[in-house]
Amino acid sequence: MSPIATPFLEMSQAIIEAGGEALKKCYQCGTCTGTCPWTPITHFNIRMLVRLSQLGLEGMDENMWSCSTCKFCVDRCPRGVEIIDLVRAIRNVYSNGGRLPQSLRAFVGSMSARGNPWSGDEDKRNDWAKGQYPLFTEGKEYLNWTCCTSCYDPRNIRVAKATARILNAAGLSWGLPPTTVQCCSESLNKVGDLELFERLKTTNLQFFDTNNVQKMIVSSPHCLDTFSKQYGRDYKVIHLSELLSELIKAGKLNPVKDLGGVKVTYHDPCYLGRHNHIYDAPRDVLQAIPGLEFVEMDRNREQSMCCGGGGGGLWLEKLKGERLSDLRIEQAMATGATVLATACPYCIAMFEDSILTLNVADKIQVKDVAELLLESLDLEVE
């Protein structure tokens, strides 16, 4: 056997083994490709990816990294194939083989060296708070887990600040994680670097266990999904939109300022909606705000269009015309809304970029549900 053939066969066998029973269940009906939001705008073909995997063939590199793990295909697969798990397993084979795309190598390198995906200094994780808010210690009710994107991305820092002000206004007992914690590592899990995922996860678990963390507030649906499904602990993890809805209903938050008739539409993040079935809470918050006219996009709730940021997509380079976030901005504008609300830092980052790309900053803004709620609360300006 030639030295060239040996690595090829080893890779082929590794792909088949990684796919496991999921590969055997798929009978190539094509429902996944028919429902995939990428199909109309890119070459990506999830059915072809699965077929090549079944055959243990190479040639998947172009297809490998496009999946944003939005869960459309999983929810509609007639055979119940967990396609996201399959994609993640195959990506792990490629990741271990050193075949990550260049843009993802930078992201993974930052996670390995700095514990976050933004190349941010570890000791500056909480700089956005400017020392105004306490760190979590045993005895506080909630750990307010600020997503790395909310700590380092300048746009999403505004969401972290809005969240902190609202939690204080509601009189909750809470604290921030120290700078020694690591990213929840959900994107590492999705791009296939499972070894590094486990390493960073262990660091976080040591903090959670040592400090007896019982309840966590998360603003990122990706953190929500990872902590509740991948960390193996029985924490109460609540998404910020759920908490805000509960606090409003309990009378602990009172949105009284009229927003003057601003028309707002809402984008359901994939990992809040399809992955975790949270649809009503963010809408309840928006509809409790005086002077806010709420309007739905045609594609909403279970049918919501993906922004493209999941599955490592936030760090992938995409050409104009091949970005789901561009389509979503156009869908939002079609409603006549001047504000696109959402509840995910990835979605905010993707939409802000698309607004610049499409040159529509004078027509529509992107805001987190928490930012809109803060505008309606009668609080003193900091």
CATH of the domain at 132: 3.40.50
CB 64: neighbour CB atoms within 10 A?
Answer: 23
| pLDDT number for residue 334 | 97
Q: From the CA atom positions of the chain, what is the Rg in Å? A: 21
**Cα–Cα distance measured from residue 60 to residue 64, given in angstroms and rounded to the nearest whole number:** 6
Mean pLDDT over 156-173 rounds to 97
Q: Are residues 281 and 339 in the same domain?
A: yes
Question: Is 101 part of any domain?
Answer: no
Whole-structure pTM value: 0.92
| pLDDT number for residue 2 | 37
| Residue 232 DSSP code | -
Q: Are residues 73 and 139 in the same domain?
A: no
**Cα–Cα distance measured from residue 304 to residue 273, given in angstroms and rounded to the nearest whole number:** 8
8 Å CB contact between 162 and 374: yes
pLDDT above 50 (res 4): no
Q: Are residues 241 and 111 in the same domain?
A: yes
Question: Is 382 part of any domain?
Answer: no
Question: Is 381 part of any domain?
Answer: no
Tens of pLDDT, residue by residue over 73-111, are 999 999 888 888 888 888 888 777 667 778 888 889 999
Domain count, the chain: 3
Q: Are residues 269 and 346 in the same domain?
A: yes
Residue 378 pLDDT level (bands cut at 50, 70, 90): confident
Q: Which of 214, 246, 278 is the last residue of a domain?
A: 246
Alpha-carbon distance values, 321 to 40, 41, 48, 325 (Å)? 11, 7, 22, 10
Question: Is 190 part of any domain?
Answer: yes
Q: Are residues 82 and 116 in the same domain?
A: no
Residue 60 pLDDT level (bands cut at 50, 70, 90): low
Q: Are residues 269 and 362 in the same domain?
A: yes
Order of strands, edge to edge, in the sheet holding 292-294? 292-294, 262-266, 339-342, 365-368
Can you give the residue range of the structural domain that contains 347?
Answer: 255-376
Q: Are residues 149 and 110 in the same domain?
A: yes
Tokens of 202: 């262990």
Beta-bridge partner residues of 264: 294, 339
For residue 224, the Cα-to-chain-centroid distance in whole angstroms is: 9
| pLDDT number for residue 277 | 97
Residue 199 pLDDT level (bands cut at 50, 70, 90): very high
Residue 169 pLDDT level (bands cut at 50, 70, 90): very high
Q: Are strands 339-342 and 292-294 parallel, antiparallel or unpaired?
A: unpaired
Mean pLDDT over 31-43 rounds to 89
Q: Which of 45, 70, 96 is the last residue of a domain?
A: 96
Q: Which of 191, 215, 246 is the last residue of a domain?
A: 246
Tens of pLDDT, residue by residue over 125-154, are 999 999 999 999 999 999 999 999 999 999
**Cα–Cα distance measured from residue 201 to residue 186, given in angstroms and rounded to the nearest whole number:** 10
For 204-306, list the strands marked E by DSSP: 215-218, 236-239, 262-266, 292-294
Q: Are residues 158 and 288 in the same domain?
A: no
Q: Are residues 214 and 305 in the same domain?
A: no
Mean pLDDT over 162-175 rounds to 97
Close Cβ partners of 21 (under 8 Å, ≥ 6 residues apart): none
Question: Is 38 part of any domain?
Answer: yes
**Cα–Cα distance measured from residue 16 to residue 18, given in angstroms and rounded to the nearest whole number:** 5
Residue for token digits 């295909």?
73
**Cα–Cα distance measured from residue 370 to residue 251, given in angstroms and rounded to the nearest whole number:** 16
| pLDDT number for residue 19 | 65
Tens of pLDDT, residue by residue over 255-312, are 999 999 999 999 999 999 999 999 999 999 999 999 999 999 999 999 999 999 999 9
